[in-house]
Amino acid sequence: MKMILESLGWKDLPGWLDLILSGWHVFLILLLAWVVLRIARRMTRLFRSHMAKQSDNPEELKRVETLSRVFGYIASVLIWAVATMLVLSELGISIAPILATAGVAGIAIGFGAQSLVRDYFNGLFILLENQIRQGDVVAVADKAGLVEEVTLRYVRLRDYEGAVHYIPNGAITTVTNRSRGFAFALVDIGVAYKENTDRVFEVMRKVAADLRADPVFGPRILEDLDLAGVDQWADSAVVIRCRFKVLPLEQWAVRREYLRRLKKAFDAEGIEIPFPHLTLYAGSDRNSPPMPLRLVEGDSE
């Protein structure tokens, strides 16, 4: 072909043809990378949909969602890395020196960026061990909130005030997950020392039974009230501890509603919810009643 073009006097045309052919190859490589990436994302979505149909467990679905996002990110990086190397080869740039240089640079960067490497390793084990998933409520590195994103490098949390926290995985040493299987709505109730605790127990059980029979809050509660009993003698109150076994993330709503209803029940039954107060004894015998305070003239207002 080149001889025919040269015989016709088009000596520069073969060079242009080579350039056009190389450009066409580059276009095909990029197009193929885009197609493969779309297929990978499509397969990820199909896998997520299949798992959603096969399992009704919301905990398992959360894990599938988290792993799908991470695998999609890894697939994108690998596909575009291979496409970049193929494009460089097509342009006549040897990738062997680049790989060698990248290897040496990687070792140097590894020593200088050990925290970054630790982030990725910790992130990998966090995902493999299923410690954190998207949608969980966790406490990590002195921060707590809803998990919005989990990657190999960081975990993104949004707290109750709406603030977003990016926590590197290397900084995560302990994970407190409040979203696994079930939770307990822990409630501490303080009543006055004069109250009959058995009567208080009856009121608490009745309010708990009414709450579990409620069509809105009942499905969130898994078991009847677990009344532990008197937990401590505080300065101004007898503290009674109880708890509800509830669905994950429902412990706060159930606790707030129980306290609201219990306040109304205590008011109706005349059960005192005490506040801190102090009784003074001015040199009287321990068995005698406290002496009333006398107002000095002029201090009545």
At residue 87, the pLDDT reads 79
- Which of 80 and 207 is assigned the larger pLDDT? 207
Q: Which residue has the tokens 């799908």?
A: 68
Question: Is pLDDT at 86 greater than 60 in this prediction?
Answer: yes
Confidence of residue 166 (pLDDT cuts 50, 70, 90): very high
Extract the tokens encoding 145.
Answer: 């909130």
| CA-to-CA dists, residue 259 to 189, 208, 241, 254, angstroms | 9, 10, 12, 9
At residue 253, the pLDDT reads 94
At residue 240, the pLDDT reads 95
Confidence of residue 27 (pLDDT cuts 50, 70, 90): confident
At residue 195, the pLDDT reads 92
Cα 199 from Cα 272, distance rounded (Å)? 12
Cα 186 from Cα 255, distance rounded (Å)? 7
Return all residues near 193 (Cβ < 8 A) that are at least 6 apart: 237, 238, 274
At residue 132, the pLDDT reads 87
pLDDT above 90 as % of the chain: 35
Mean pLDDT, the chain, rounded, equals: 80
At residue 130, the pLDDT reads 81
At residue 150, the pLDDT reads 86
**Domains in the chain, start-ordered, CATH in brackets?**
2-112 (1.10.287.1260), 126-177 (2.30.30.60), 183-269 (3.30.70.100)
- Which of 97 and 9 is assigned the larger pLDDT? 97
Residue 55, φ and ψ in degrees, nearest 5: -125, 135
- Which of 69 and 239 is assigned the larger pLDDT? 239
Q: Reduce the DSSP state of residue 176 to 3 states and report it.
A: strand
At residue 56, the pLDDT reads 65
Question: Is pLDDT at 158 greater than 90 in this prediction?
Answer: yes
- Which of 149 and 187 is assigned the larger pLDDT? 187
